[in-house]
Amino acid sequence: MLIFHVIRRIPLLLLFLCLSLNGPGCREDARVTVIKLGHGLAPTHPVHLAMEFMARRLEERSAGRLRMDIYPSEQLGSERECLELLQIGSLGMTKVSCSVLEGFVPAMSVLSLPYLFRDSEHRYRVLEGEIGRRLLLAGERFWLRGLCYYDAGSRSFYTKDRPVLVPDDLKGLKIRTQESPTSIRMVQALGGSPTPIAWGELYSALQQGVVDGAENNPPSFHLSRHYEVCRHYSLDEHTGVPDVLLISTKLWQDLSPEFRELVQEAALESAQVQKKLWREATQRALSEVEKAGVQIHHPDKSLFMARVGQLYEEYRDQPVLYGLIQDIQKVK
């Protein structure tokens, strides 16, 4: 979890050496500042498309003085590795799931709780309001500054051989989770066996039977082609964990006030663009996987909600986090 983990990772060290040659926000000449942004999603993903929008905005509004170069598909490492590179100042920006970020910024763990949000509109009001802004800045003490949230919809279970219609259907199944203590506890509470695996390794893990299923949103299920292996998608919609766009505090401090404002404004604009792209991608994904032969199921969510209530009780002895949960639930 700590930045010192980098010394035990030879591939990450090599990547660090390569990135250090130019730095996270280097100047090709006296007129151009280049920000490197690495993430793990495909170039066709709505989040990547929103980042491309942001890059165009930055170049336009800075008259070419500020450029953002985007490296998708884990070219610069996994989500955890990119976060570590941000912490040591060797990468400028990244996008990660809140589930992974909670290992670096503990307050973010509340956003991974199942059924925290009543619906998507409630989620938007929380994340785009005072609570969301407070959480974005909670990582500054860990050298990570949040710029905006990207909609990641609702996550649901998909499995190879049998559908998940009730929580007991998860018994005996190895379910891939993110490297998130909250996600792991959720799958355990529902009766499954959580198995953290890097996103880039999941397709082969499903093929080879290392895991029996996973959980994610419809666009990711579709674009990853996991539907080729998993033929059941059960829309229990247990979590609405957002993605977060982050900038290294080292780079943020190095930017001029003008460039900081441009970066923040472009990030917020890209979040609104991504929200629209996300809705379209979700509808398209469900249609495409169904055409490909995937059976889409609509289980009774109340059965799953009843099983995970205990996770909220675990926060009672943590007044700050428990208070944050209550604040979120009070948002109208």
Q: What is the pLDDT of residue 24?
A: 73
pLDDT tens-place values along the chain, 332 residues long: 434 333 334 354 445 544 544 567 765 566 899 999 999 998 999 999 999 999 999 999 999 999 999 999 999 999 999 999 999 999 999 999 999 999 999 999 999 999 999 999 999 999 999 999 999 999 999 999 999 999 999 999 999 999 999 999 999 999 999 888 999 999 999 999 999 998 889 999 999 999 999 999 999 999 999 999 999 999 999 999 999 999 999 999 999 999 999 999 999 999 999 999 999 999 999 999 999 999 999 999 999 999 999 999 899 999 999 999 999 999 99
Q: What is the pLDDT of residue 30?
A: 66
Contact indicator for 183, 111 with CB cutoff of 8 Å:
no
Cα 292 → chain centroid = 26
Q: Which amino acid is at 79?
A: E
Q: What is the pLDDT of residue 5?
A: 38
Q: Strand, coil or helix: what is 18?
A: helix
Q: What is the pLDDT of residue 196?
A: 95
Q: Which amino acid is at 63?
A: A
Cα 278 → chain centroid = 14
Q: Which domains does the chain have, with CATH numbers?
A: 3-152+242-282 (3.40.190.170), 155-240+285-330 (3.40.190.170)
What angle, 0 to 180 degrees and rounded to 10, lies between the N-to-C axes of helices 181-189 and 301-313?
A: 130
19 is written with which tokens? 């990135």
* Nearest one of 96, 303, 269, 309 to 185, comparing CA atoms: 309
Beta strands 174-177 and 32-38 are: unpaired
Q: What is the pLDDT of residue 23?
A: 67
Q: What is the pLDDT of residue 179?
A: 86
E strand or H helix that includes residue 329: helix 319-330
**What is the pTM for the complete model shown?**
0.87
